[in-house]
Structure 1
Amino acid sequence: MLDFGYPLRESEMEIAPMLWRIGLSQPIPWWRKLWAAQRMAALEADMARLAYETALLETIAQTKESYYELYYLDRAIPIAAKAEEIFRNQATLAYGELSAGRSELNEAFRAESQAAQLEYDRLLLGEQRFAQAEGFKALLNLPSGARVGPIRSAPAYPVSPSFEELAARAERYARELQSMGLDARRAAYESYLARLARIPDLTLGLDLAKMGEMTPGFMDMFESKGKNPIEGAIGLELPIWEWRNRALEREKEALREAMEREAMGETNRLRAAVAAAWYRVRLAERLVALYENTLLPQADAAMRQAEAQYRAQLASLATVLESTLAWQNFQLALERARADRGQALVALERAIGTTAEARPAEEARP
């Protein structure tokens, strides 16, 4: 600290008047306090970096989720349009076969109403696709006039079959857990600083005074050396607020324990979140395989067989309508399962803080 003094009134007893005074003082904290403060500053920088990485990864995750939802909508709209066309053709066929007795009026009404319902669903899907595309552009910071083209694939990769491996990976890479760890470390340094608060800080000072001419009455009594006085000073803060220091120490120690317990609780919550996301991925993978390999081929074969039997007058039009409806539902369910699989992968990656594929120990990477 730099200070300057100027006398407002001269003393009558002064040998020589002081014209002005300038002083310089500098507090010097205990070196362990400086070390702890430096460590806390480094932790603050790490926490800011971690907050940026967390926000970036969350934006990427939301973009992926929006991408998979757009995939489903882009697949569902043409499926609904194709099914609508099939039901309209079947309604026309049913009305034409009424006179021949090969169809009934309720079958024609059912085919027609199903086509109308699919037209309504297709319009809703189109509007939903528009809203989803706008959100996708907002996540990517694209201009409002940009066009999001059709998305034709839902990429996925096989996840690690070991839950323990994924849980260990989450404990290493999850940003939430890292943030809790940094909070606990900062609380530990704050507790340490509170214990050091009773150690007084040292203050060093230096004063320089500019003196005027010696008072005439003292000139014969004292020999004037023509030098201005220089004064050095050393000071210590008195640790008189011991009760306050003890209260501060107890407060910081309680905060440190709370942060450590919160970090332990976050570890348990993280493990549960990884388990839930891992289950979602495994379930979605099984559903995709079930629809691709079993249900959809069976529905397609049943629809073709029902159409052939109807032409051969071995089945009713109602059977054709039922098989067509099942085929359409399984088509939509397959695309929904593919999109859900991708979104479940995003949830798992969000939980563990990195990708979820199987990694040999020597190839593990952040």
Structure 2
Amino acid sequence: MAFFCSFLYFPRNSGFSAYGNSVIPPYSKLLRVLSIRYHILNYLPKEIVNLVHLRYLALKISLESIFTIDYQWRKLRCLQTIILDSPCDSFSPNNILGMPQIRHVYFSPGSLGYLDLPKLVQGNLQTLFWLGLPLRLQTEPDFKGIPNVKELGIHLMDYDPYYKMHSSEKPWGLLPHISMEGLLNLHQLENLKFERDQWFPKCDSKVLKAFPPNLKKLTLRRTNFSWEDMAIINTLPNLEVLKLRGDAFCGPEWKATGNGFCKLKYLQVTDHPTLKHWSVDADHFPILERISLHYCPRLVEFPTGFGDINTLQLIELMDCPSRLVASVKSFQEEWRDLGNDKLVLREFYTLPKESIDEADFA
């Protein structure tokens, strides 16, 4: 009799079932790894809760399915990693976060709210995505239940769905904006991803002041900060990777100010159509190695200040205007004339001139 230790399911089509009425193979009681991420489940196979040796579980659940066995998650006492790609409100996550060995948790945005955070300290938990937080809160989360988390994703929502249960409190519009001061309690946090709903109001810059100094990687998406607020981020002393996506910052000019990013090695700027002018000096990015610019259609030229940063090795341009590409090529040629040929330029899908003109007048 053969027993499986790992099982990854890749169906030929969404209606395909490998083992009769179940996607789980027979003789699988000793499974440690189960991944069904590429097949949408219309129900949760009851056999899963009997796989007591599971360390890793990844599932994709359809909109129509409903978790009916939340109370049985406690059987999976060895589970360390869980990935649930599911619609909002399809299950209750608090039973999962309270599991004794759980280390890495990935939920779809909107599935996990701040009230689902563990009430008791879960010292093993190292990764948590995505935690939903509303714009306004009467009492902010302190994150003391997850003191050792190293990677955290926060998704800001417009309205708190739980607030309607507390009718005696202040009206929603009078509550203070969230400040996220509890993040300062996360002394092990190294990787933070912070994003907001598409129609969410502009984020208050005081949120940036709550980012802990131990951060090494920071990703911001749709936060709509002002470029002047970058002076707050560059005070993070250990930041090595900064990714700015989808209007993380807004405005036509980014002028580097402040003390600079003393440890930053990788900078990514993606989907920032309002950015036109960018100026830097060598002191602001003293050890930068790689720059990625994706869809910055109005950016006029590459900052000449990067010419004094001798650690720069790679510039990536994707969906950028031809004039920006030309300025980077000129920059690269100047380096070669000085005997420095280590700088690599990669360009993809340069925007045609008519697209650039439309962007300028949009």
TM bracket (short chain): under 0.3
TM-score, normalised by the number of residues in structure 2: 0.16
Higher relative contact order (CA 8 A, sep 6+): 1
TM-score, normalised by the number of residues in structure 1: 0.16
Q: Which has the higher strand share?
A: 2
Q: Which has the higher helix share?
A: 1
* Higher Rg of the two aligned structures: 1
